[in-house]
Amino acid sequence: MQLTLADCFDPTGERFGIPTYPWKLAPEGYATRRQLRARGLRPGGQDVAAQILRPRQRREPLTAYLYLIDYAKPVRPMTPGRRAALDKAMAARRLCPNCRTDAGYCIPRSLGMCMPCAYPDDEQRAAWPALLPKGHLL
């Protein structure tokens, strides 16, 4: 369905079922998940209150769902148990299943193994992680 910018303005929700606004023209009091997170908030179980549509040529429009800021709840604090679980999950992403070593970076899912295991004959690929700046995360 080819939409124009004018088709995206439906504040009553008759056409799309929920209030719909054009890109960057949502009224005050609404925010996306990322905007809520930047404010230290989360949707907190509330349903989608509205949406934003951005028309595109030859493709379906981009959609962003909006939540009411007034009903948003604060982000839950990081507990020691949650931090330990997150550290364990990140360590598992760094472990090469082929050579069982810590690669020093997150293993690309497209390869499924570290660079030296994926490209054993390529000397440049084997030295690649050492060429990254100190503390660089992929």
Asked if residue 136 has pLDDT above 60, the reply is no
138 within a domain of the structure (yes/no): no
CA distance 64 to 21: 10
Is 135 among the domain residues? no
- Residue 136 falls within a domain, yes or no? no
CA–CA gap between residue 94 and residue 111 (Å, rounded): 13
Examine residue 1 and state whether it is found in any structural domain, yes or no: no
Please give the average per-residue pLDDT across 116-130, as a whole number: 69
Does residue 137 carry a pLDDT above 70? Answer: no
What residue numbers bound the domain in which 59 lies?
6-74
Give the other-Cβ count within 10 Å of 31's Cβ: 20
On average, the pLDDT of the chain sits at 86
Domain count, the chain: 2
Contact 45, 83 (CB under 8 A): no
Q: Is residue 39 part of a domain?
A: yes
Q: For residue range 32-50, what is the model confidence (pLDDT) as tens digits?
A: 999 999 999 999 999 999 9
Contact 126, 116 (CB under 8 A): yes
Kindly state whether residues 68 and 92 are assigned to the same domain.
Answer: no
Q: How many whole angstroms separate alpha carbon 36 and alpha carbon 98?
A: 40
Assigned domain for 49 exists: yes
Question: Is residue 65 domain-shared with residue 106, that is, in the same domain?
Answer: no
